[in-house]
Amino acid sequence: MNRQWAAQARLRALQEADRHRSEQRENAARFGSHEVRTRLTIARGYAQLIADQSAEPTVREDAELVVAELIKASALATNLLTLVRVVEPSAPEPVDVDQLLAEILRRWSVTADRIWNARSTVGTLQGDSERLEAILDCLLENAVKFTGPGDTIAMTADAEGGELVLVVRDTGAGIPAADLDTIFDTFRTGATAGERAGSGLGLAIVKAVAEARGGTVSVASSLGRGTTFTLRFPLRTAPPIPPAFPSDSADRGPLNEPAGVGS
């Protein structure tokens, strides 16, 4: 029995040490990313000031180039932080998927001239709204890059066979078949991405989030006809909210039969 207790104590100690290391990694990533982004924001502000106030066309063009590169660097720092954090465990919480998709659609629809659509009747599930929003942002950012004005970008959420199925579809340029097998690799941007290529982290983040939570991500694409990303997660419904007691105790009824329960 003493050996069993000792083994359990060692296991608890190992779990606590692992949790502590995980917290240290996340705190370091948060702090480092914050410091980098703060300095990039300051540098971007000064570069933009030069671009706005300089009377020399060449200086303005150079300053605008610096601003553009600083914007890319800031986005890269944000994506690196997200990639570090997505694999860390998180406590599940109720997530209103319908509302989340509506909010994401409203936020993205003002960023690009596309035909935006979103549909969800899933309701509230147990999950992680921050990470779910992060992967949808990555997929939408990718969709914007490979579409143009008049193209459609759509999100859907459905509950199918014990899974939450999220789909992001666009009618843009599509992905060459040769790139499909490696599209989720870190820092892989595709052989034909050209000027639309980013850091190569966005789709790696999507895959990391999906796999860390027991899910999968797949892609189907056709050149000139668009791309569809499909995410599947184990479905965990949120527990129902118990009915609230009336504020007036006189209306409650017998103590062993609260009002609103069993009626």
Specify the pLDDT at position 114.
96
**For residue range 160-194, what is the model confidence (pLDDT) as tens digits?**
989 999 999 999 999 998 888 888 886 555 544 44
What tokens does 38 get? 């703060």
Specify the pLDDT at position 182.
87
Its pTM stands at: 0.61
**For residue range 244-260, what is the model confidence (pLDDT) as tens digits?**
444 444 443 433 333 33
Per the model's pLDDT, the better-predicted residue between 262 and 95 turns out to be 95
Burial per residue of 6-43, b for 16 or more beta-carbon CB atoms within 10 angstroms, e otherwise: eeeeeeeeeeeeeeeeeeeeeeebeeebeebbeebeeb
**For residue range 22-31, what is the model confidence (pLDDT) as tens digits?**
666 655 555 5
- Write the DSSP string, 137-151: HHHHHHHHHT--TT-
**For residue range 71-85, what is the model confidence (pLDDT) as tens digits?**
777 776 666 666 666
Given pLDDT bands bounded at 50, 70 and 90, which one contains residue 20? low
Q: Is the distance from CB of 232 to CB of 161 less than 8 angstroms?
A: no
Q: How far apart are CA 216 and CA 230, in angstroms?
A: 8
Look-up: residue for tokens 């997505």?
Answer: 86
